[in-house]
Amino acid sequence: MTGDGGVRLALVGAGGWECKRIARVLSDMGALAAVCDPDERRAASCGQEHSVGHYGDVGGMIRGETFDGAVVATSADARATVASELLGAGKHVCAQWPPACDAAGVGALLELAGRKKGVLSCLPVARSSMAAEAMRNAASSGAYGRLMSFDIRARGSSASAYAGRDDCDYGGGRGGGGGSGHDHAGDDHAGDARARDMQADAIYTANLMFDAAPHVVFAVSGGLKDDSRPEGHLTTILGYGGGSAATISVNLETGATSETAEAVLEGAVIKADLSEGFVRTEPAAAGRGPGRAARNRNYPHDNLSLDLQLRSWLGDFADAINRGGEPERRNRAARGVMHALAAIKAAEASLLSARRGIPIYLDLR
C-alpha cells in the first residue's frame, strides 16, 4: 500500500540522515503531507525539497494541515510526548524505535490509541533492525528448516549507547509520555537507563527475528558496578514457544561498540554484524536438516535495501490506516509496538536482576 489510497502522513523530525531518508521514501510513496521540526530552517529546507508544508511545532501542524497520521522520528526522549499529542488529536502514529520510555509509558500510548481508535505502529530504522529483517527473511524462506536459536552479543559503553543515533531533535530531546520518559542527561540513574536501553534494543531485534513477543523471560544478569556509568554485563534468555529460544548478552565494560548475531537453523547458520548491517549464511554440519547454504555469502545492506525495507514498513502503516476496519491490517501494524513493549519489560527485568544479584523469571503469556 502506498499513497495511492489517499493516506496522508506528516513527518515530525527533519534532521539527520534517518529523518531525511524517511521524508524521501514518504515523498516517493506520494504520502508525505507536511514536515515538522522545532528548527524552522530545517523544517523549511525539508518541506521545500519535497514541496509540502512545514511547521515549527506539532500543535501548529495539527491546526494548519490535513493529514491522517504521522511518522515520529524525533530524538528518542521526545517520541512518547509527540506520539501522545498526535494520538490525542485523533491522528495515527508510527513512532521510530526506541521510544525511550518505560513499559508503563508504552502501555499508556497503547491505551490512548485504543481509546481514540488510532493505529499505533513502530518503525525500526537502525541498521541492526534492517539486518535482523534480512536474517528473518532468510530464516523464514523454508530453505534451511526450522529456526532453533538466536543469539545476540552487544558490546559497548552504556554511556555512549545512543551517541550519534538521534540527530532528529525535538523539544530539546527531553520528555516522555505523561512523565514516563527517561531524560538520560539529567536522570540520577541515567547509567541504569542506558544499560536498560542497550538490552531492550537487542531484545527488540530478537523479537523482530522471531516476529513474536517472547512467552517467557529468564534474566540471569551479572552485576552492575556503578549507578551513573555502570560496568558489567547483562544476560537474558527468551523463550518463544515451540522449543525456540534467544540469548541476549550485553557487555558494558568496553568502549568499542559492536553487535553481532547468530541464528541456528536445521540446515544453516546465519551470522550477522548488526552494527554494520552485513549478513552471511553458512551450511550447518553435514546431515543436519534440509537445504544447503552458500558459505561466506555476504549481503551488504546498501542504501537501496534500506529504502525498500523502510517503504515496506511505512506501507504497512499506511495500509492499516486505509483499511483500518480489518483487524488483520491493524494487528500487523501494531505488532511492532507489542514487540517493543515486550522488549522493554524484559530489559527492565534484566536490570532488576543485575541490581539484586538474583535470577528473575517473567511470564509474558
Residue 55: give its domain's CATH number: 3.40.50.720
Residues 138 and 110 in one domain: no
CA-based radius of gyration for the chain: 20
Cα distances (Å, whole numbers) of residue 250 to 237, 247, 289: 12, 10, 31
Per-residue confidence (pLDDT) for residue 73, from 0 to 100? 93
To the nearest 10°, report the CA torsion of 55, 57, 62, 68.
80
Highest mean pLDDT among 79-93, 244-258, 320-334: 79-93
Same domain for 173 and 46, yes or no, is no
Alpha carbon distance 200, 208 (integer Å):
12
Residue 201 has pLDDT above 70, yes or no: yes
**pLDDT given for residue 171 in this prediction:** 42
Looking at residue 65, its pLDDT comes to: 95
Q: How many domains does the chain have?
A: 2
Q: How confident is the model at residue 327 (pLDDT cuts 50, 70, 90)?
A: low
pLDDT for residue 291: 45
pLDDT band for position 307 (cuts 50, 70, 90): confident
Mean pLDDT of 275-298: 60
CATH number at residue 145: 3.30.360.10
pLDDT tens digits, one per residue of 251-284: 877 666 788 899 998 888 988 888 777 788 888 7
Task: Indicate if 207 and 66 belong to the same structural domain.
Answer: no
Same domain, 113 and 215: no
The pLDDT assigned to 166 comes to 44
Band of residue 232 on the pLDDT scale cut at 50, 70, 90: confident
Q: Which three cell numbers stand for residue 293?
A: 547454504
- Give the model's pLDDT for residue 100: 73
Quick one: 296 and 151 in the same domain? yes
Write phi, then psi, for 263 (nearest 5 degrees): -110, 125
Lowest mean pLDDT across 109-118, 186-195, 233-242: 186-195
C-alpha cell at 191: 547509567
Helix, strand, coil abundance in the chain, percent, nearest 5: 40, 25, 35
pLDDT band at 52 (very low <50, low <70, confident <90, very high): very high
Whether residues 144 and 253 fall in one domain? yes
Handedness of CA 205, 23, 13, 41 (dihedral sign): positive
pLDDT at 313 over 60: yes
* Same domain as 274, residue 206: yes
Q: Strand pairing of 233-241 and 244-251?
A: antiparallel
pLDDT in tens, 330-362: 666 778 888 889 999 998 898 888 888 888 998
pTM: 0.79
Q: Name the more confident of 184 and 46.
A: 46
Name the more confident of 345 and 194: 345
Contacting residues for 339 by C-beta, under 8 A, at least 6 apart = 122, 204, 207, 208, 212, 213
Rounded-to-integer distance, Cα 97 and Cα 129, Å: 10
Give backbone dihedrals phi and psi of 245, rounded to 5 degrees, phi first: -150, 160
Portion of the chain with pLDDT greater than 90, in percent: 32
Within 10 angstroms of residue 361's Cβ, the number of other Cβ atoms is 12
Determine what percent of the chain is predicted with pLDDT higher than 70: 76
Q: Are 117 and 321 in contact (CB under 8 A)?
A: no
Q: Are residues 318 and 276 in the same domain?
A: no
Q: Are residues 111 and 132 in the same domain?
A: no
Please, what's the largest Cα pairwise distance for the chain? 64
The reply to whether 138 and 240 lie within a common domain is yes
Average pLDDT estimate for 41-48:
95
Q: Which residues contact 242 (CB under 8 A, 6 or more apart)?
A: none
What confidence tens digit (pLDDT) does each residue in 91-139 have?
999 998 877 778 898 899 999 999 999 999 988 876 677 777 778 877 8
Give the C-alpha distances (Å, rounded to integers) separating 84 from 62, 72, 95, 107: 13, 11, 10, 12
pLDDT score at 54: 96
**Is there a single domain that holds both residue 280 and residue 135?**
yes
CA dist., res. 237 & res. 103, Å (int): 19
Residues 69 and 185 in one domain: no
Residue 98 carries which side chain, given as an amino acid letter?
P
Mean pLDDT along residues 198-202: 86
Any bridge partners for residue 216, and if so which? 239, 363
**pLDDT at 177 exceeding the cut of 60:** no
Average pLDDT over residues 309-314: 86
Give the domain range for residue 152: 127-301+342-363
Whether the bond between 98 and the residue before it is cis, its omega within 30 degrees of 0, is yes
pLDDT in tens, 150-161: 999 988 754 434
Residue 64 reports pLDDT greater than 70: yes
